[in-house]
Amino acid sequence: MRTRLRKLWIGGREFLWRAQIRHVRGEGDCHRCIRVRMWGAGKTSRALQADLLSKSWPAPWGACATDGAYPTPQDVRTLVVYAVEHGWETDVRGGTHILTESEHASTLELPGFLLTDRLRLPEAPDPTARVIRAFEQRTGDAARRLA
């Protein structure tokens, strides 16, 4: 099956992007994770990669089974603008510029997603704890009563 490349125009420039649905295990649940890859000068240019952890919580039958989160074009636009401001050279050929949780999570957050390193690094911080923390920040202390 072919991967669909989507187009996004930012400042008169075309960016290609795709998003692949994946899952990561956490201490308390399985979580939807979307790997987003973008190119600013065609598929041979340096790719931008970001692994997005869905903030959806709580899920009655498990987050992997019921989470339908998917990045919007606005989410992708935010990633592109942020990455260019933080060193992504869109015209360079080859290689991948990765927005990592360890370097960028404190300064980049999307409305429905957190950056995660868990897809690449199994020892990265627990996604369940991060999702619950994001839920608590959004709603108050409700997650502790639900858990």
| pTM, two decimal places | 0.86
Tell me if 21 sits within 8 A of 70, measured CB to CB.
Answer: yes
Percent of the chain with pLDDT over 90: 55
Residue 146 or residue 42, greater confidence: 42
Q: Which position has the higher pLDDT, 101 or 58?
A: 101
Distance, CA of 46 to CA of 42 (rounded, Å)? 9
Please check the confidence at residue 143 and state whether its pLDDT lies above 50: no
Q: For residues 22 and 40, what is the distance between their CA atoms, to the nearest angstrom?
A: 24
**Quick one: pLDDT at residue 129?**
86
Which of 14, 8, 76, 6 shows the shortest CA–CA distance to 45? 14
Place of tokens 């089974």: 65
pLDDT (tens digit per residue) in 91-119: 999 999 999 999 999 999 899 999 999 98
